Structure 1
Amino acid sequence: MPRSALLGPSLVVLSGLLYTAGYVVAKLLSGRIDAVQITFLRCALLLAAAAAISPFLPRPASAWRRVLFPPRARDMRLAGVGVIGSSILVILAYARMPVIEVSAIAFTGPIILTALAGPVLGERVSRRRWAAVALGFLGVLAVLRPGLATFQPAAAFAVAGQLAYAAYQLVARRLRGEADAVDLTLQSALVGAAMTGLAVPFLWTAPSAADWVMLVAFAALQAAGQWTLAAALQRAEVAALQPWQYVKLAWALGFDVLLFGLVPDAVAASGIALILAGTMLAAGGPTRR
């Protein structure tokens, strides 16, 4: 694969690491602070950082005008609704389930996006890519096997969050050429602050000093994860990127082992091998138009 073609997948893999790390921080926070408040503070902190940086930009007034009156405002804000809705739902899921199980459930997303890439975006997916997604999905089932015995209601949060995130990725891809990664990230922060701000006074819990450090870390990790994913969607087709989303499962396993002492068994390890095989298969096949 040429180096230029590796940029999109590399950004997706990095985005998975950043997002997973951010949600691990949110999981640690969620026992003390509501998911809506965490999401609101994430958005507010990002907007505050943008305000602090803007005086040093060549044309700060023009930059803020673009934030308040962006091109294709409806679509950009619809993408923001998808990101923020996904964030709240996934935090709720992480608060109630192990990191690895939430991450595994979330990998229904690549199936959804690969299936919708044709009718929504006009992308034609090769059989190699479908095979790669299928291998990854089988690997996910192997990892998730312990959670299949009894249904956990919290799993519904993870599934709904993935549907919302899939909608974001589809809209972000359609905005290619009209909105860049910074536009999408700031619009999501603006929409998120508006969506959650009304509810926050009724849910507010005063964060401790340690909580504030974790909230800043969560906001930074999530913003960086969203920026890198948006940048990937500007450079490559949605169907081409989906198998690389499965690498996020390796990050989730790493955090579970290091922070929570959860070690995968032999079946889960075989699932990881299938996921990696699917990713390698995807790396070699182009998507046809």
Structure 2
Amino acid sequence: MAPNADVSEGLRPGPTKAPIAGIALIVLACLGFSILDATAKYLSATLPTLQIVWVRFVSHLIIAVILFRVWKTPTLLHTKRPWLQIVRAFCLLGTTVFNFLAVRYLQLAETMAIMFAAPFVITALAGPFLGEWAGPRRWAAIVVGFVGVLVVTQPGSGGMHWAAIYSIAAMLFYSTYALLTRQLTATDSSAGMLIISGAVAAVAMAPAGISNWVTPPDVWTWVLLCATGAFGGGGHFLFIMAHRLAPAPMLAPFIYTQIVWMVALGYLVFADVPTVMTLFGAAIVVSSGLYILYRERVKGL
């Protein structure tokens, strides 16, 4: 994809083309990430975490290569900024690894509360790094959405566990990944970004994944293990496409919709019945997103 004239030096993302479509894609991407987390949680009862991470990226890579038939169109992998692609791939890997490590020691509520600080970081940095400045209404929607997340998660009032550093690291890696994704959409193809990130992470995790290998006990476990690549890779492809269509500050509040998907999957898969406060908090999150959507449809932010 050829860069625009004002991004010839790779300093700015592509133009905003269809913001509402971008919002729809980011919501679907969050659904994919939520299914991935639920699957990983289920698998972690019988398989090592590092093995799950490695297979997630290996299957992600295989599916992407076959889907986009790279052998017929190798130009998909062309990039004008290879080092930025590699950094982005390691940011994605760092997000996955540190998030999985955090879940081992912390309550899910605590990890979620920390991870959902990402929209603040993304919105704050999108201005100086991408030239996408958020107005007061978007900042207000982000704050309201975060309040809704805190209502749902209700992080413990006791002292913070030392492993919270894992969640902080995952949040920072994710924020950087989101900003680099928006920046690279100006010059690189979505398919190439998806394949390169999967390849770099798969190679980097190979030693740990192989050394911690435990053979899945049954066919169902094999299916779920391989499906992690489809959920993760599919989610990130939608994530890339969303940032191609809309600016990062506009999309950032919709990251909070993941809490809605997680509550629903917790009930359907793990029989976790949501409390009244959980439903109330989820309603706040949805309301903040609907407000941005309304503003975008009516007269923009």
Q: TM-score range by the shorter chain?
A: 0.7 to 0.9
Helix, strand or coil at the partner of 1:284? helix
Deviation at 1:101? 5.0
Rounded Cα–Cα distance in structure 2 between residues aligned with 1:83 and 1:226: 10
Q: What residue in structure 1 maps to residue 238 of structure 2?
A: 228
1:39-78, aligned counterparts within 5 Å? 39-52=53-66, 57=69, 60=71, 62-63=73-74, 66-67=76-77, 70-78=79-87
Deviation at 1:52? 4.2
Listed one character per residue, the Cα deviations across residues 18-61 of structure 1 (whole Å, up to 9, x for unaligned) are 1100111011111322222212112222333345456xx4x725
Listed one character per residue, the Cα deviations across residues 172-220 of structure 1 (whole Å, up to 9, x for unaligned) are 1111221122111111111111211122332121223332111111110
Rounded Cα–Cα distance in structure 2 between residues aligned with 1:262 and 1:53: 35
Contact preservation (8 Å) 2:95, 2:169:
yes
The alignment's TM-score, normalised by the length of structure 2, stands at 0.85
Q: What residue in structure 2 maps to residue 145 of structure 1?
A: 154
Q: What residue in structure 1 maps to residue 190 of structure 2?
A: 181
Q: What residue in structure 2 maps to residue 8 of structure 1?
A: 22
Relative distance call for 1:283 and 1:250 in structure 2 (3 A) is: same
Q: What residue in structure 1 maps to residue 5 of structure 2?
A: none
Deviation at 1:148? 3.7
Helix, strand or coil at the partner of 2:154? helix
Q: What residue in structure 2 maps to residue 106 of structure 1?
A: 115
User: Which letter does structure 2 place at the counterpart of 1:270?
Assistant: F
More divergent stretch after superposition (27-36 vs 212-221):
27-36
Relative distance call for 1:72 and 1:241 in structure 2 (3 A) is: same
Rounded Cα–Cα distance in structure 1 between residues aligned with 2:258 and 2:170: 16
The alignment's TM-score, normalised by the length of structure 1, stands at 0.88
Listed one character per residue, the Cα deviations across residues 226-273 of structure 1 (whole Å, up to 9, x for unaligned) are 000010011110000011111111001111222223333333333222
Where structure 2 has 5 or more consecutive residues not aligned to the other structure, the ranges are 1-16
Where structure 1 has 5 or more consecutive residues not aligned to the other structure, the ranges are none
Q: What residue in structure 1 maps to residue 3 of structure 2?
A: none
Listed one character per residue, the Cα deviations across residues 67-120 of structure 1 (whole Å, up to 9, x for unaligned) are 3x6331111111111111111122233455565554343211111111111111
Relative distance call for 1:53 and 1:238 in structure 2 (3 A) is: closer
Aligned to 1:264, which of 268, 274, 283? 274
Relative distance call for 1:95 and 1:212 in structure 2 (3 A) is: farther
Q: What residue in structure 1 maps to residue 171 of structure 2?
A: 162
Relative distance call for 1:238 and 1:53 in structure 2 (3 A) is: closer
**Larger helix fraction of residues:** 1
User: Which letter does structure 1 place at the counterpart of 2:35?
Assistant: A
Rounded Cα–Cα distance in structure 1 between residues aligned with 2:144 and 2:285: 6
Q: What residue in structure 1 maps to residue 89 of structure 2?
A: 80
Aligned to 1:33, which of 27, 42, 47? 47
Q: What residue in structure 2 maps to residue 239 of structure 1?
A: 249
Rounded Cα–Cα distance in structure 1 between residues aligned with 2:227 and 2:201: 17
1:198-213, aligned counterparts within 5 Å? 198-208=207-217, 209-213=219-223
Helix, strand or coil at the partner of 2:224? helix
More divergent stretch after superposition (98-107 vs 131-140):
98-107
Rounded Cα–Cα distance in structure 2 between residues aligned with 1:257 and 1:178: 41
Listed one character per residue, the Cα deviations across residues 122-144 of structure 1 (whole Å, up to 9, x for unaligned) are 11111100000010111112122
